Structure 1
């Protein structure tokens, strides 16, 4: 449900308290924190708020299933690929400057999304939205690190964690409210347009409260890391060549080009890995440092986080299509239906460290196993085209708790083994992997659901339930693999 963002190690000059601002800025730390946290919340909302609006977008724009998947996944594509680059641009150009740049792009793109007249336009502007988030989000933690110290920093990070915990639930509920309200007959458009006034207000406030970026001379401060543009192009190409055929292949009947594209993605990713290794050996700054992947346990962490986020995104996408398309739920009811999953995910993520020590070692495999059982339960409870009854919400709670137990301890333990000098690269790697996991989940499980639905003939509650059940088994299989990976760690 939530992901970390890459942070950079604070240098001595960057660790000043919030009160030390340049002239002309508001020196009240509470306002600075409110501005950066509000931007984080807005961008996080946009990941989930659109999910609830998906069926309405499909109806009003006449979007195909593949087009709808790209509307959902387009944001994640550019966000995932550009995330590390956004963090490095903040180091090079200044966190205030890049924050304002990203917020402006995100706000303009939100307006363009809300005014889109066709699926192609909406997909293009969702890609632009993701690029804005990739510039904006990495600056949030950096600005907190550089402007708060001691107890103030602890409280600021607590507020940051709270936003991550409630953002998913709030996004789904707010999306349901906005779509169901159908303000002035605008249907799904307010889920994007709501960002515009908020973004404008934040831009005005940010120019006032964010500290000005200090002028830097060549050789002053810590060494700047390169942007690794060739690595960015190779990774972006590999992700695109994999995503597009996964999304469009089912609709087109899996033509030859789709298989060639996925094969090319594998080749391009191999070239990316080879280039990154060569760049690292030459003393450069690769997008993903190979040495980070060699940290004990990091490979397993990458797999588990990918599995968690793929299952999470796939579950939300296919269940949204079923309960709104198959069961006829309103967008508001759909958003409220998902709320227990998101709330429990956040609550478990914030409290698992305080659980009994005897249970700590079994949290990860136990979480994945709970997810697998709960996913199958959801499919079986809804398989006859019914609404599932109260046990359905118990299964939703199980999925939220299970995914959180698979994600949060994995992330914490992986980063705890990283040396301070590798912390930024490790955080960036896991953040990127989390986003790519969401992308894979929407593409793969969405294609499976839509393919099964179309094979059943005319859409309806029963055929939709059958497609959902197939996806539930597939989701459970992925979670079971995560449980096996957790047992590897447990045995060690």
Structure 2
């Protein structure tokens, strides 16, 4: 009310407000792309059998979505700033529903790959608008609470995707089998569109900046040069193109930075303004996202493989083994904002310590209980790790966006989400490849232990980097 009166007296329009229903709607949309990144993991064996797809084609079902999603996120954020975030949100959500339907009805493996690429592009149009809308249509304690809920939603979605995928495949609803993991999105999108039309306010940059064509092409080429060989290399046998692509990555990254810096100096509008990285909170938060997201996605992939192929659990029991992690993540996420208000960013350091303890408990369970890993044996480690992860992810998101001005909320969220998504894909590629490469020589148990030890090193790195954060969040 005070804000409205002040705006009236000064003659400036009141900023749009994001109410409770609107926040629920954008968080629902934020969950969909992340769930879809993980939900397909447990459905791959059924997809391969039903569509007679080779392992390399199945890799493309996962990688095609992830690559399109990561490559187009910054562009999606910029388009929201330019044309209106609500408009892009509605269009992206509608496209996500249609492409999910196309995935669920795909008659062949290659049709499914094409639909997954389109689904990733739709996600890239929709998701940046969530954070940009929160940043532009909330303030003060409401923004802190909304950002905390966004982080909690993101973390839970990554765990829930794998659990939900196992349940849907096993349930075989109306004989749909694996197709239900995509078709389930359609009614959710319909509800989301109805709610969004009523409750999500329109926001945009006051002085919209045009799209940077050269920067967009160079960023896409840079990310593809890194992620495409890492995601496809193992199944393809590491052909020459993978090594050439990885060799080209640093040159493309340098070229992208040079072009963006030159555009900034000449008064043009780069896709990713280098000046954005002058924000200390954004720069340090992005550095924290990389090891955290790599470890998170790598762990989810490796534990699913170990439980199903090594411990002999079906998709439902393998998913249920992760329930303790999801439950403690949820409740710790609720307590997170109060803890941050009292202890500041030290909560991130404490979270990394707890996550490390949880991983150690899981390593001990794998060594002493193999192959009888299940809900009970993984409960202590999963529960502690879930608390630790919940004390990190939502807070890191708040740190990244804390100093980003509302006018650049779209590009800021796009940069953060691109870093997160690229790191998720990188985690599956690196830790997944390490695990699968170790299995023939070491066996499933020791390969799992070795991979978790590598992840433990990443958790330690996150904890050390968090010590450089400012104590309070703006």
Pair 1:64–1:373, CA change in 2 (3 A): farther
Superposition deviation, residue 360 in structure 1: 4.5
- By how many angstroms is 1:111 displaced? 1.5
Are the equivalent residues in 2 in contact too, given 1:15–1:145 (CA < 8 A)? no
Distance (whole Å) between structure 2 residues aligned to residue 147 and residue 413 of structure 1: 18
Q: Which runs of 5+ in 1 are unaligned?
A: 1-10, 19-28, 457-461
Give 2:378's aligned residue.
392
Q: Distance in 1 between matches of 2:354 and 2:289?
A: 16
> Per the alignment, do residues 116 and 304 of structure 1 end up closer, same or farther by CA in structure 2, a change over 3 Å counting?
same
For structure 2, list consecutive stretches of 5 or more residues without a partner in the other structure.
1-10
- From 168, 179, 183, the equivalent of 1:178 is 168
Seen in structure 2, the aligned counterparts of structure 1 residues 381 and 104 have a Cα distance that, compared at 3 Å, is same
- Give 3-state SS (helix, strand or coil) of 2:271's partner: coil
User: Aligned partners of 1:16 and 1:449: how far apart in 2?
Assistant: 48
How many residue pairs match? The answer is 460
* C-alpha spacing 1:389/1:133, structure 2 compared with 1 (3 Å): closer
- Of the three residues 117, 123, 127, the one matched with 2:113 is 123
Q: 1:119 to 1:478 in 2, by over 3 A?
A: farther
> Aligned match of 1:74 in 51, 64, 68?
64
Alignment check: 8 A CA contact 1:165 1:343 kept: no
Q: Are the counterparts in 1 of residues 101 and 182 from structure 2 also a CA contact under 8 Å? A: yes
Query: Could you say which residue in structure 1 is the equivalent of 2:5?
Result: none
Aligned to 1:49, which of 18, 35, 39?
39
55-64 vs 267-276, which deviates more?
55-64
Q: Show the counterpart of 1:263.
A: 247
- What per-residue deviation string (whole Å, max 9, x for no partner) do you get for residues 380-424 of structure 1? 422432216735211112322233333333333344355666655
Would the aligned equivalents of 2:302 and 2:448 in 1 still touch at CA under 8 Å?
yes
User: 1:77-156 alignment to 2 at 5 Å?
Assistant: 77-141=67-131
The aligned counterpart of 2:273 is 289
Alignment match of 2:318 (pick from 320, 330, 334): 334
Change (3 A) 1:367 1:356: closer
1:323 to 307, 318, 325: 307
The aligned residue for residue 463 of structure 1 is 443
1:318, CA displacement in angstroms? 1.2
Q: Distance in 2 between matches of 1:348 and 1:41?
A: 18
Q: Is the 8 A contact 2:297 2:427 kept in 1?
A: yes
Instruction: Provide the rounded CA distance (Å) in 2 between the counterparts of 1:357 and 1:155.
Output: 11
CA separation of 1:123 and 1:339: change in aligned 2, threshold 3 A: farther
By how many angstroms is 1:110 displaced?
0.8
Flag the 1:115–1:356 CA change in 2: closer, same or farther, 3 A: closer
Distance, in Å, in 2 between the alignment partners of 1:303 and 1:257 is: 29
Q: 2:437 aligns with which of 443, 448, 451?
A: 451
Contact 1:100/1:206 (8 A) holds in 2: no
Equivalences for 1:177-196 in 2 at 5 Å? 177-196=167-186
Q: Give the secondary-structure state (helix, strand or coil) at the position aligned to 2:321.
A: helix
| 1:413–1:316 CA distance, 2 compared to 1 (3 A) | same
The CA distance in 2 between the partners of 1:174 and 1:30, in whole Å, is 26
Report the Cα offset of residue 213 of structure 1. Answer: 6.8
1:209 aligned residue: 198
Equivalent residue, structure 1, for 2:293: 309
Conserved? CA contact 1:79–1:133, under 8 Å: yes
What is the alpha-carbon root mean square deviation over aligned residues? 3.6
Classify 1:14/1:439 alpha carbon distance in 2 versus 1 (closer, same or farther; 3 Å): farther
Equivalent residue, structure 2, for 1:23 = none
Tell me, what secondary structure is at the counterpart of 2:391? helix
Report the secondary structure of 2:383's partner residue: helix
CA distance in 2: counterparts of 1:73 and 1:189, whole angstroms: 18
- Cα offset for 1:102? 1.1
Distance 1:487 1:212 in 2: 37
Counterpart in the other structure of 2:260: 276
Which residue is equivalent to 1:477?
457
Cα separation, 2, equivalents of 1:342 and 1:68? 27
Q: Kindly indicate whether the alpha-carbon contact (under 8 Å) linking 2:73 and 2:415 is maintained by their aligned counterparts in 1.
A: no
1:314 Cα offset (Å): 0.6
Q: Residue 396 of structure 2 is aligned with which of 388, 401, 410?
A: 410
Distance 1:363 1:66, change over 3 A: farther
- Change beyond 3 A, Cα 1:115–1:465: farther
Query: Which stretch has the larger CA shift, 481-490 or 289-298?
Result: 481-490
1:356 Cα deviation after fit: 8.4
104-113 or 82-91, which moves further after superposition?
Answer: 82-91
Alignment of 1:415-426 (within 5 A): 415-418=401-404, 424-426=410-412
Deviations 1:310-345 (A, max 9, x none): 110110011111212222222222222222223333
Structure 1 residues 346-355 or 311-320, which shifts more?
Answer: 346-355
**Residue number among 405, 422, 427 corresponding to 1:441 in the alignment:** 427
Q: Give 1:237's aligned residue.
A: 221
Quote the Cα distance in structure 2 between the aligned partners of 1:206 and 1:388: 39
Per-residue CA deviation, residues 163-220 of structure 1 (Å, 9 max, x unaligned), is 44643454333322211101243321100011123334544x2685368979x9xxxx
In 2, Cα distance between equivalents of 1:313 and 1:350:
22
Could you say what secondary structure the match of 1:341 adopts?
A: helix
String of CA shifts for 1:341-375, please: whole Å, max 9, x gaps: 23333433332342388855543334334334433
